[in-house]
Chains A and B, each alone.
Chain A
Amino acid sequence: MCLGIPGKIIATAERDGLPMGTVDFGGVTREVCLAPVPEARIGDYAIVHVGFAISLLDEDEARATLEALRELGEVEEELAREEAGEPAGEET
């Protein structure tokens, strides 16, 4: 029930009493209702569902998750190398 796609807010304006934003999805733009995200600013990323921003994206959370996964991968590779008796690899 949830086709919600991340897009970047590139403009804001009020229309018919509603806070609206122009959101860019990689080269396609659409007017999106920003009423659910009053704290939204130009440059923020939002999840857009049926023309409404239902949330702003938490950049720090996103980065933390991906970094943790990448580090996990490096640790595993390091362990695998040690087990195989290879010399320690360079920091990537």
Chain B
Amino acid sequence: MKYLEEYRDAALVRRVLDEIAATVTGEWTLMEICGGQTHSLVRSGLDRMLPPGLNLLHGPGCPVCITPLEMIDRALAIAAREDVIVASYGDMLRVPGTSGDLMGVRSTGADVRVVYSPLDAVTLARENPDREVVFFAIGFETTAPANAMSVLQAERLGLENFSVLVSQATVPAAIRAIMSRPGGRVEAFLAAGHVCTVMGWSEYEPLAEEFSLPIVVTGFEPLDLARGIAAAVHQLEAGRAEVENAYGRAVSREGNREARELIDRVFEPCDRTWRGIGTIAMSGLGLRPEFTRFDAIERFAVSEIDSAESQICIAGEILQGRKKPIDCPAFGTDCTPATPLGATMVSSEGACAAYYRYGRREGAGS
């Protein structure tokens, strides 16, 4: 496939890896903050092809993993109602709530459907006028324009039976939170390429300056990831701290204006809870007041929910890059992709699932 295969070229990747190895003189800690990048790194084996001095942490970049427990419990409560169809992206179906997940609740008669696109959820609402359709709108900024469009389209079509359960997160506030917490040792970030396709990279400039942090906008294919890491390493070795774009074919400084307008029409910034981390100010998106009638929490009166996390799960520490999956006593034993205790094991791009699936079970060097 064009624009994919070229970026999986073994010789070109090798070349960049050699460049990284030749440039690194000390130990550096980098963090990527995108589930898609976690997945790609581990799937290609690239994370184990880096020189030993580079410590690459997987940050809270998986929108599935950071969706608060209460949100999942809300989705489950709504799904249990007879007149409702819950439409969701596939990765959310196996995320554990307090007791059960969206896939499991199907066996008790709940109607939960997987959709690839938010517009497919709108279509479901049109085709089922006598049922309520609730779309579980999760994601980072990459997904926000599409989620926003579903609300606008439902409005345009005059649909009375469509609502959204919103759990949107934004990245820059998360970077600030990670860098502001004591004990943090991240020295450079790989910024999520497709988040920046939408938002551009200007929001990262104040962060680079405030925290003396190289931030490199990075893509997803092995060559893109290697180049992003190489750029970060060059900056670290040279003592620079700038925002740099290593994904030029898909990202510009301004991002996508039309996409951002879609977001701004429907959503506004708000505080939000990140599962395993806690509340981060202005790190989420919520529906603007004029769209309250599409808010599933209002429509189904599910604002008060009792939620309880597993006591054993250390997903929060993993999401913040403080621990690795193999540091968890339950990893691979009580907690596996088939029997997940927390979100980072459920989502296939959660760090724990990625480590488990791709064989990082025995610790560093295995």
Which chain A residues have a beta carbon within 8 Å of chain B's beta carbons?
1-6, 8, 16-18, 25-26, 30, 33, 35-38, 45, 47, 49-52, 54-55, 57-59, 61-62, 64-66, 69-70, 72-73, 76
Contacts and interface: CB of A to CB of B under 8 A. Distances in A.
9 contacts: A2-B194, A16-B156, A18-B149, A33-B119, A36-B198, A51-B146, A52-B146, A58-B248, A61-B249
A54 B256 contact: yes
A54 B35 contact: no
A33 B1 CA distance: 21
Given A6-B2, A52-B146, A35 B262 contact: yes
B142 to A, nearest CB: 5
B4 A5 contact: yes
Interface of B: 1-4, 6, 11-12, 15-16, 34-37, 61-63, 89, 116-120, 139-140, 142-143, 145-146, 149, 153, 156-157, 192-195, 197-198, 220, 223, 227, 248-251, 256, 258-259, 262
Given A51-B116, A69-B15, A4 B153 contact: no
A47 B256 CA distance: 12
Contacts of B15: 69, 72-73, 76
Which of B62, B146, B220: most chain A CB closer than 10 A? B146
A31 to B, nearest CB: 8
A4 B6 CA distance: 16
A90 B118 CA distance: 54
A7 B157 CA distance: 28
B262 A2 contact: no
Given A2-B192, A3-B36, A5-B1, 10 more contacts: A1-B139, A2-B193, A6-B2, A17-B153, A36-B258, A47-B250, A49-B143, A57-B3, A58-B248, A69-B15
A61 B248 contact: yes
Which secondary structure dominates where chain A touches chain B? Answer: mixed
B1 A25 contact: yes
Contacts of A18: 119, 149, 153
Nearest to A72: B15
Given A1-B34, A2-B142, A50 B3 contact: no
Contacts of B197: 4, 47, 54-55
